[in-house]
Amino acid sequence: MKRLVTYAIVLLSALHAAAAPRAARESQRTQAPSTDGKLNIIAFGAHPDDCDQRAGGTAAKYAALGHRVRFVAVTNGDAGHQTEGGGALAARRRAEAQEAGRRIGVEYVVLDNHDGELVPSVDVRNQIIRQIRQWNADLVLAPRPNDYHPDHRYTGVLVQDAAYMVVVPNITPDTPALRKNPVFMYFQDGFQRPNPFTPDVAIAIDDVIEKKMDMLDAHVSQFYEWLPWVAGSLDTVPKGTAERKQWLRQTRAGQPTPAVRSALLKWYGAAKGKEIRHAEAFEICEYGTRPDEALLRKLFPFLPRPE
C-alpha cells in the first residue's frame, strides 16, 4: 500500500513537472504587484495586432504614467498570410508583436494557439485565467463575442468564461486565484447584432496617435501585406517605409463614431469633447466587478477631473 502511494506521488510529480514549463511559457514574469499605486492592465486580442488597433493609444497613455500594460495575442497568427504560414510566420508575428510593444512601452505575450482554429476550450480558458492572475489585473480588456472572425468571437467568449473563474482557487490551482475580481471591459467594434457597442468610456488619444501608428507600423506582415491583400488593395500600399507609414496613418487612424463622440462630450465636456479627433472607447462587461464612476476614473487616470 505504502509503495502504491509513493508510486502515485511520483507519478503526480512527474505530471506536474511536465505541465510546469507550459504554464511558465505562458507568462514572462510572476504576479505583478498591486501595492505601489500603479495599475495592472491586461488586454486580449485574437491575433498579434488586435489589441494594438483597439487599445494601442490608451496603452501608450498608461505606459507614459508608469502603469503596467500587458497585451496578449491568444493565437500566434500562423495562418493569416497569402504567401507565408506555419512556424516561420508565427515567429515573424511574435517578433513584430514584441517590437510593437517595445515602441510604446508595454509587454506583449503571444500564446501558442493556432490562428484560425481557436475554440472556447477549457485548455485555452485556463491559459487566459493564468494570464489575468499572473498580471494581478485591475482591468481586463477584450473583444465582444460578436464578430465576423471566429478567433475574435471566441477570444471574447474565452475572456467572459474566465471572468468569474479567476477568483475560484480550485480552478488552475497552479496559479494563485485573485482575491478581487477585476473590471472587464470590451473594445469598440462596429457590429450591430444582437446589440451595438455602447461606449461607457471614451479616451482621447490625439496626443499619442503617432505612437499608436508607430506601434501598428511594427506589424509589417499584417498592415502592409496580409490585410491589404485580403481586401484586394495590395497595389495601394506604397513601397517606401516613410510613405507606407503615412498611408497607414491615412487609412487606420479612424474617426470617432457618433456614439463615441457622445461619450467624449460626457467625459471631456462640450468644448474639449467636440475637438477630439482620435479616440478609443470601451464598454463595461456585465461580468467581473461592475465599476461606478469613481472606479472608472481611477482605472482611466488620464480622464479630466469633473469641473
Given the rule CB under 5 A, which residues bind Zn ion? Answer: 46-47, 50
Q: How far is the CB of 221 from Zn ion (least distance, A)?
A: 13
For Zn ion, the closer CB: 140 or 165: 140
Least distance (Å) from Zn ion to the CB of residue 104? 19
In terms of CB distance, is 185 or 227 closer to Zn ion?
Answer: 227
Cα–Cα distance measured from residue 140 to residue 137, given in angstroms and rounded to the nearest whole number: 7
Residue 45 bridge partners (DSSP): 73
Smaller CB separation from Zn ion, 73 or 260: 73
Query: Which CB atom, from 26 or from 115, has the smaller least distance to Zn ion?
Result: 115
Residue 52 beta carbon to Zn ion: minimum distance, rounded to whole angstroms: 10
Report the chain's C-alpha Rg in angstroms.
20
Measured between alpha carbons, how far is 305 from 307 in angstroms, rounded to an integer? 6
Torsional sign, CA 7, 12, 15, 16: negative
Instruction: Report the residue number, 154 or 300, with the smaller CB distance to Zn ion.
Output: 154
CB 107 within 8 A of CB 71: yes
Question: What helix, strand, coil percent values describe the chain, rounded to 5?
Answer: 50, 15, 40
Cβ contact 223:49 at 8 Å: yes
Write down the least CB distance from residue 149 to Zn ion, Å: 6
Distance in angstroms (rounded) separating the CA atoms of residues 264 and 148? 27
- Residue nearest to Zn ion as judged by C-beta position: 47
Whichever of 75 and 172 has its CB closer to Zn ion, that residue is 75
Q: Is 176 helix (H, G, I), strand (E, B) or coil?
A: coil
Smallest distance from Zn ion to CB 164, Å: 25
Least distance (Å) between residue 162 CB and Zn ion: 19
Q: Other C-beta atoms within 10 Å of 164: how many?
A: 13
